[in-house]
Structure 1
Amino acid sequence: MNKYLILFFLIVSLKTAHQAFGQCLDQSTAYQAGEELWYDVKYNWGMIWVDAGEVMFAVEDAKWEGYDAHWFKGYGRSMPKWDWVYKVRDTFDAIGTQKQLKPLFFHRNTKEGSYKVNNKYWFDTDKKNIKAEVYNSGEEETIQKNVPFDDCIWDVLSAIYYARNLDFSDFKKDQKIPFNLIVNGKVYNLFVRYLGKEKLEMPDETVYKTIKFSALLVEGTIFDGGEDMTVWVSDDKNKIPIKVQAKIQVGWVKAFLKSTKGLKYGDITPLNP
């Protein structure tokens, strides 16, 4: 199970009621090609916080079967000094249309300790079908199948950029925002909960205006399940995730924004420059 990059995925409990959810985008506006985001990931080990890993996200222009597209990249790794404890090398690629962020292709290739995942999805929004190739450690071979869907749908990487395009001014505090997500070849009806606005102080004492929301976590070997993930995004047009924290079975994991490049609306302005 990924302790690092998974923090940014809006993962929700498998016990969520299966209802017909889905919100499509009229226009994708929060990012542009050339954007890069870097994060430091810290792990709580007893009373000690350690620098456990780093995460990078990037956006590039692309062409895909005649579509003007964006190529989204996600990369997570454990720090080399901790590789002997638990080595993580995770790569995620997603391609979606530029205007409405309709997913076209997704590839997850992850190695976390001895656990490996290699999943690929080809999205056909006209036929509302996903051609999936799914491999997880423990399986004897790659499973190939077709996955039908009824509404707008996201993979775990495009879901991040979808969330950044949400207009939170349309929601009331504690309101749930539903969406559909495909994970390991299965479609789940999920949601995040809007928690309002908050001034957030970073470890370097920089303070930002943020929008805060939470997500339920998958119950499994790392998480107990429940609404134990919290995300703070910049309260501006960029809506950059600034901090993410999640409770796990043996402590807490936190990710802090380290650096940015190529933001569409300029640098994020702190309240105490």
Structure 2
Amino acid sequence: MKHFSTRILLAIVMTAAIAATGRAQCGIENKAFKSGEFLYYDLFFNWKFIWVKVGTASMSTVKSTYDGRQAYRTSLITRGNNKLDKMFMMRDTLLSYCTDDIVPLYFRKGAREGKRYYVDELWYSYPAGKCHLKKHRIENDGRHVWKDSEYKDCIYDMMSIFLRARNFDTGKLKKGQTIPMPISDARRLSNSWLKYIGKETFKMEGSNDKYRCLVFSFIEREDEKNHELIRFYVTDDVNHIPVRLDMFLSFGSAKAFLKGYKGVRSPMTSKLN
């Protein structure tokens, strides 16, 4: 169960992204969201052929300051309910600060997953046109692990890549196209990418709401094999909000469905009713 929470978090914050190179390209004009946006999700797990609600997730984006400069402060909180707690404790909080043009500044993840608790932190700087990451991890046994890494390309975390990705023009994507995903945590840089599946109309579970969606598959290469981790559906409009997430786990499958939203920047033109 140890990857269940991480998979849910990653799924919710992923839409579509294109790897950027060079310091000048780390930023992007924001047209997809505004301060005061809130997204809410219900989480489900397939238990003995029955889909059972096991928790909730919520994401907020507001204007704030970081190190004396204006920034977007984005947080994501997942909470398992009593049914999930009997199998696996899940209490996770992610926090991210980015500039107005979505250049990452700081990232933190505090995660209680089962009996394990750990913290990941990233501090970003950009000396000489490169991307420098100061990494800090607090292990379950209380050990503090520090590491510095520098890259010639722009690197993102699970939160900042979401904000950046929502501002890409996905209308130019072709079926089967793959897109590199430069995502790091305090341990490593992942070897992962997106594959564009195509467009589909999705009817929300438990309601009559329908959405025109772009469908993507998130793939990671590990142990010399490619693994599809997530298939997700995002609104086919300028908001690019995930409305459905299918997660493929070693012990089963899980889903997340958009329950509600407020404060979105643009009309949800992908909603069909």
Which bracket does the TM-score occupy, shorter chain normalised? 0.7 to 0.9
**Cα displacement (A) at 1:4:** 3.8
Q: TM-score, normalised by structure 1?
A: 0.87
Could you tell which deviates more after superposition, 181-190 or 101-110? Answer: 181-190
Closer/same/farther in 2, CA of residues 126 and 242 from structure 1, 3 Å limit: same
Is contact 1:28-1:165 (8 Å) kept? Answer: yes
SS at structure 1 position matched to 2:174: coil
**Cα displacement (A) at 1:28:** 2.1
Root-mean-square deviation over aligned CA pairs = 2.2
Is contact 1:10-1:159 (8 Å) kept? Answer: no
Could you tell which deviates more after superposition, 111-120 or 183-192? Answer: 183-192
The list of structure 1 runs, each at least 4 consecutive aligned residues, that deviate by more than 6 angstroms after superposition, is none
**Cα displacement (A) at 1:25:** 4.3
Number of equivalent positions: 258
Could you tell which deviates more after superposition, 142-151 or 224-233? Answer: 224-233
CA distance in 1, matches of 2:216, 2:27: 19
**Cα displacement (A) at 1:207:** 1.5
Is contact 1:8-1:160 (8 Å) kept? Answer: no
Partner of 1:199: 201
**Cα displacement (A) at 1:228:** 4.0
Structure 1 residue runs of 5 or longer lacking an equivalent are 12-20
Structure 2 residue runs of 5 or longer lacking an equivalent are 13-18
More helix by share: 2
SS at structure 2 position matched to 1:183: coil
**Cα displacement (A) at 1:87:** 1.5
- Aligned-pair identity in percent equals 28
**Cα displacement (A) at 1:61:** 0.6
Closer/same/farther in 2, CA of residues 178 and 265 from structure 1, 3 Å limit: same
Is contact 2:213-2:235 (8 Å) kept? Answer: yes
Could you tell which deviates more after superposition, 70-79 or 59-68? Answer: 59-68
Could you tell which deviates more after superposition, 162-171 or 42-51? Answer: 162-171
CA distance in 2, matches of 1:36, 1:5: 20
CA distance in 1, matches of 2:126, 2:29: 17
Selected match of 1:151 from 130, 150, 153: 153
**Cα displacement (A) at 1:189:** 4.4
Is contact 1:39-1:256 (8 Å) kept? Answer: yes
Partner of 2:118: 117
CA distance in 2, matches of 1:151, 1:190: 15
Partner of 2:262: 261
CA distance in 2, matches of 1:28, 1:80: 39
CA distance in 2, matches of 1:134, 1:248: 25
1:137 paired with 2:109, answer: no
- What are the Cα deviations for residues 7-47 of structure 1, in whole angstroms up to 9, with x where unaligned? 24169xxxxxxxxx536443122111100000000000121
Partner of 2:20: 22
